């Protein structure tokens, strides 16, 4: 996907910034963050949410992740002919509810109905705008990260990916599985009172934690070391991941954030995160280090060390 | 206590490493023949904890990696036929054939579907009576029962549009072939799930003939390190037996019910292994009374002569002769996103394991 974006889209659109979740733009002296996303999840309804909740949360999080304060969202719907109005109503109601929780307004939209088989039930496209205070602009780039900084994840990993897999495969495990889909702006605002303490934030979506950690270190003069035993994973998610041969470090989430914070403030920030439902399981998992520059390293539960790579290719289940 | 926690306890691993270090008689080479073991070893960094006198080699235990190039080319030829639905385990789709892959076929409009169970394949056949549904039957003793069940079920229900493109393989003959080729192997970490089905006794002849110890291992870190300890102990005592470390799942006899199903549907045959070539009694062929389900016998297709990708060292990697990161293509022309060879595609492939779990 990255290659496609660079070879086709960046080339023609003349975009030069790094591939962040949102763009930082200036309008009449005001700094804004602007993002867009499209949602094609299948199934449309899953434990913990639906495509509508995902659309609002995902858009809010793309803005929050760079320190912006989300304000307005647009949504476009592409609807397959014959789609049940009752289902559409549930989805849209859910979007309104999430927007209210996140304190954002859905201010404009569009609807297209296409013939049967021209799309898979329903697709949603969104865009979002938020204010980006000047003193938060470093958060997206991570330019102030330095050795000694601590690495925090806001909660358990892999919930969304494994819930969707279970729904698709019809797995019954006896465990309660639920997507973690949620807007995280209320969580991030809890710790952005002193933005200089927050070196970097990123929502942990496709590619998982591993991809973000590997990307942060690439070509940098610092390294990262995390401890596998400290990474929070629900027992139900761990069980299914192991059955299929998946590594939770590579699994997608829709309501989890990675923070890199100034060492001296880590415990305070952790306490602040714990006051929010979406941050109650926040954990320090590692730190930035002077060693193995440019490389993220994982110390396994048994003490072995290995390099953390970006997700290369698809996540495929084991055969035997 | 969740039992997996016990099998991941750092102090148990440290204790076993100490015992290993105290028993190594000389430099030794141990081969793990299961791709799942290779992945676990790399993922937990077990290789980084072992004494330097132990070298671990990855063997031909990855189902898609050892599937010969001409099988992929044949699969592509079938997928392109009209009125065919190809069903396969996920990672086979991305294996590059000589000119194309099942994934490229799917992108080009062919009906190629990923399944995780053969029973899904049967349901697809029942739901699509006008199509030929062809299941790509690869894998070792672990996955053969699934194929056998599907064929028996298809026969019992009179399903006449379900077919199998068979490339099932069995382990012992291939492990013997490696030793016959002169590859220095002092001990085998034996495949856990293969033996859950077939029983550890399938390796008795190998251990006796070649005087090489085999320990059947589980997949947790403590399993693997304990299996390595058991091998080191046998080597230091000059014993060459088959022992079971994975006793919570594996017995000497294995799963007799599964074995009966396999014997009912399949018979031993020669199979071609990527990198090794044709090995007698290393595979399975569908018996004549079930030949109606063998797509290659019912509807043979012609394909161009197959060619291995230029520069790809998968064959040597599968024999433990070359470590993946010593291949010139590794990490440059050949990555999981753009694989040149099969070993980089599969989550049980050595190259994929080395790429995703590199040592410092």
Cα atoms in the 13 Å half-sphere on the side-chain side of B175: 31
Helix (H) or strand (E) holding B272: strand B266-273
Among chain A residues, CA nearest to B192: A320
Q: Give the one of A3, A242, A312 whose C-beta lies nearest to B355's C-beta.
A: A312
pLDDT in tens, B253-306: 999 999 999 999 999 999 998 878 899 999 999 999 999 999 999 999 988 888
* The token pair that represents B130 in the structure block: 């006008």
Residue A92: inside a domain, yes or no?
yes
Residue-level pLDDT at A154: 98
Domain match, A95 and A244 both:
no
Structure tokens at A163: 């819930």
B148 falls within a domain? yes
Rounded to two decimals, what is the model's pTM? 0.83
Q: What domain count does chain B have?
A: 1
Contacts (Cβ under 8 Å, ≥6 apart) of A14:
none
The CATH code of the domain that includes A131 is 3.30.1330.10
Kindly state whether residue A318 falls inside one of the protein's structural domains: no
Q: B interface mutation test: which of A294, A302, A312, A317 has the most B CBs within 10 A?
A: A302
A119 lies in a domain?
A: yes
Three-class SS of residue A320?
coil
Do A300 and A264 belong to one domain? Answer: yes
Choose, out of A42, A211, A308, A320, the residue to mutate when testing the contact with B (most B CBs < 10 Å).
A320
Report in angstroms the alpha-carbon separations of B312 from A58, B333, B345, B350. Answer: 41, 10, 13, 13
- Domain-located, residue A320: no
Nearest to B207 by CA among B225, B234, B168: B234
Among A111, A135, A159, the domain-final residue is: A135
Domain end point (choices A106, A135, A164): A135
Interface contact B48, partner A, CB < 8 A: yes
| A92 and A192 inside one domain | no
Instruction: List, as ranges, residues 125-144 from A with C-beta within 8 Å of B.
Output: none
Residue B39 inside a domain? The answer is: no
Residue B356 has its nearest CB partner, among A295, A301, A309, at A309
Residue A120 φ then ψ, to 5°? -95, 85
Over the Cα atoms of chain A, what is R_g? Answer: 20
pLDDT of A251 reads: 93
What is the per-residue pLDDT across B195-237, written as a single tens digit (0 to 9) for each?
999 999 999 999 999 999 999 999 999 999 999 999 999 999 9
Residues from chain A contacting residue B358 (CB–CB below 8 Å) = 306-307, 309
Same domain membership, residue A157 and residue A124: no
Q: Are residues A31 and A116 in the same domain?
A: yes
Query: Is there a single domain that holds both residue A64 and residue A82?
Result: yes
Q: Check CB contact of A316 with chain B, cutoff 8 Å.
A: yes
At A312 the pLDDT is 64
Domain boundary among A135, A154, A187: A135
* Contact of B218 with B7, CB cutoff 8 Å: yes
ipTM of predicted complex: 0.75
List chain A pLDDT tens, one digit each, 320 residues. 767 777 888 888 876 655 567 888 888 888 999 999 999 988 999 999 999 999 999 999 999 999 999 999 999 999 999 999 999 999 999 999 999 999 999 999 999 999 998 899 999 999 999 999 999 999 999 999 999 999 999 999 999 999 998 888 777 666 678 999 999 999 999 999 999 999 999 999 988 999 999 999 999 999 999 999 999 999 889 888 888 878 899 999 999 999 999 999 999 999 999 999 999 999 999 999 999 999 999 999 998 888 898 876 666 666 66
Are B43 and A312 an interchain contact pair (Cβ–Cβ within 8 Å)? no
Give CA–CA dist A190/A167, Å, rounded. 34
Whether A44 is in a domain gets the answer yes
Task: Provide the number of structural domains found in chain A.
Answer: 2
Structural domain range at position B261: 69-169+254-298
Nearest neighbour of B360 by CB, restricted to A3, A297, A319: A297
Q: Cβ–Cβ of B39/A306 closer than 8 Å?
A: no
A304 in contact with B, Cβ within 8 Å: yes
- pLDDT of A81 reads 94
Q: What is the CATH number of the domain that holds B288?
A: 3.40.50.11740
CATH number of the domain that residue A157 is part of: 3.90.650.10
Same domain, A126 and A180: no
Q: What is the block-wise mean pLDDT of chain B (360 residues), using blocks of 10 residues?
A: 78 96 94 91 90 94 88 95 93 87 92 90 96 96 95 96 96 92 95 96 96 96 97 97 97 97 96 88 96 97 83 88 91 86 85 84
In a domain, residue A8? The reply is no
Residues of the domain holding A216: 142-307
| Sequential DSSP letters for B46-99 | GGGTS-TTEEEEE-S--TTTTB-HHHHHHHHHHHTSTTEEEEE-GGGGG---SS
Cβ <8 Å between B360 and A318? no
Neighbours of B14 (CB within 10 A): 13
Tell whether A242 is within 8 A of chain B (Cβ): yes
Q: Closest by alpha carbon to B167, among B112, B95, B219, B111?
A: B95
Residues A224 and A81 in one domain: no
Q: Same domain for A213 and A235?
A: yes
Indicate whether A99 and A187 sit together in one domain: no
User: How crowded is residue B285: how many other Cβ atoms within 10 Å of its Cβ?
Assistant: 17
- B197 within a domain of the structure (yes/no): no
Task: State the pLDDT at residue A320.
Answer: 64
- Helix (H) or strand (E) run with residue B328 in it: none
By the 8 A CB rule, do B78 and B105 touch? no
Q: Could you tell me which residues come within 8 angstroms of residue B75 by beta carbon, excluding any fewer than 6 positions away?
A: B86, B88, B92, B97, B102, B136, B165
- The verdict on residue B109 lying in a domain is yes
């Amino acid at each position: 996907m990255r290659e496609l974006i660079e070879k086709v889209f960046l080339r023609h659109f003349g975009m030069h910034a790094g591939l962040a979740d949102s763009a930082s733009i200036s309008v009449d002296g005001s700094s804004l963050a602007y993002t867009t996303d499209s949602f094609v999840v299948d199934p449309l309804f899953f434990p913990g949410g639906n495509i509508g909740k995902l659309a609002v949360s995902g858009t809010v999080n793309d803005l929050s992740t760079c320190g912006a304060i989300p304000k307005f969202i647009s949504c476009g719907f592409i609807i397959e002919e014959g789609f049940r109005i009752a289902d559409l109503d549930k989805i849209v109601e859910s979007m309104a509810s999430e927007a209210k929780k996140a304190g954002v307004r859905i201010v404009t939209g569009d609807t297209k109905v296409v013939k049967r088989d021209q799309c898979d039930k329903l697709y949603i496209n969104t865009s979002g705008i938020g204010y980006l205070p000047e003193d938060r602009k470093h958060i997206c780039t991570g330019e102030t990260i330095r050795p000694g900084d601590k690495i925090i994840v806001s909660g358990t990993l892999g919930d969304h990916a494994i819930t969707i897999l279970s729904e698709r495969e019809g797995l019954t495990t006896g465990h309660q599985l639920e997507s973690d889909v949620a807007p995280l702006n209320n969580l991030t605002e809890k710790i952005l009172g002193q933005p200089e303490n927050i070196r970097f934030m990123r929502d942990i979506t496709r590619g998982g934690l591993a991809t973000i950690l590997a990307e942060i270190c690439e070509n940098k003069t610092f390294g990262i070391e995390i401890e596998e035993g400290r990474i929070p994973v629900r027992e139900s998610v761990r069980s299914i991941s192991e059955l299929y041969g998946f590594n939770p470090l590579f699994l997608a989430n829709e309501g989890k954030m990675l923070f890199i914070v100034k060492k001296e403030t880590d415990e305070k920030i952790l306490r602040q995160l714990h006051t929010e439902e979406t941050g109650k399981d926040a954990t320090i998992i590692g730190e930035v280090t002077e060693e193995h520059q440019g490389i993220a390293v994982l110390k396994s539960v048994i003490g072995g060390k290995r390099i953390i790579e970006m997700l290369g290719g698809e996540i495929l289940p084991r055969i035997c | 206590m969740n039992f997996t926690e016990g099998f991941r306890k750092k102090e148990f691993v440290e204790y076993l490493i100490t015992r290993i270090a105290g028993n190594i008689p000389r430099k030794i080479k141990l081969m793990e023949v299961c791709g799942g073991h290779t992945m676990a070893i790399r993922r937990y960094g077990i290789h980084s904890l072992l004494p330097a006198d132990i070298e671990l080699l990855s063997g031909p235990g990855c189902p898609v990696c050892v599937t010969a190039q001409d099988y992929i080319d044949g699969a592509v030829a079938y997928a392109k036929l009209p009125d065919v639905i190809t069903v396969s385990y996920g990672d086979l789709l991305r294996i590059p054939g000589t000119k194309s892959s099942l994934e490229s076929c799917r992108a080009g409009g062919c009906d190629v579907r990923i399944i995780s169970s053969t029973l899904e394949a049967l349901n697809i056949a029942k739901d699509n009576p006008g199509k030929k549904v062809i299941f790509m039957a690869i894998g070792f003793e672990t996955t053969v029962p699934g194929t056998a069940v599907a064929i028996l079920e298809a026969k019992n229900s009179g399903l006449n549009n379900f077919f199998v493109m068979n490339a099932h393989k069995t382990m012992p003959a291939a492990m013997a072939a490696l030793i016959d080729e002169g590859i220095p192997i002092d001990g085998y970490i034996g495949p856990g799930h293969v033996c859950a089905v077939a029983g550890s006794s399938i390796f008795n002849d190998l251990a006796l003939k070649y005087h090489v110890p085999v320990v059947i291992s589980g997949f947790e870190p403590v399993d693997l390190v304990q299996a390595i300890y058991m091998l080191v102990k046998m080597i230091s005592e000059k014993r060459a037996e088959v022992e079971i470390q994975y006793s919570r799942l594996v017995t000497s006899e294995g799963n007799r019910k599964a074995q009966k199903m396999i014997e009912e549907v399949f018979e031993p045959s020669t199979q071609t292994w990527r990198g090794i070539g044709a090995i007698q009694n290393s595979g399975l062929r569908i018996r004549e009374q079930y030949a109606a389900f063998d797509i290659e016998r019912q509807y043979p297709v012609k394909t161009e002569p197959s060619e291995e990708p230029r520069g790809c060292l998968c064959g040597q990697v599968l024999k433990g002769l070359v470590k993946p990161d010593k291949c010139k293509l590794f990490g440059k022309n050949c990555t999981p996103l753009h694989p040149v060879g099969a070993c980089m595609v599969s989550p049980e492939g050595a190259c994929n394991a080395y790429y995703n779990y590199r040592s410092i």
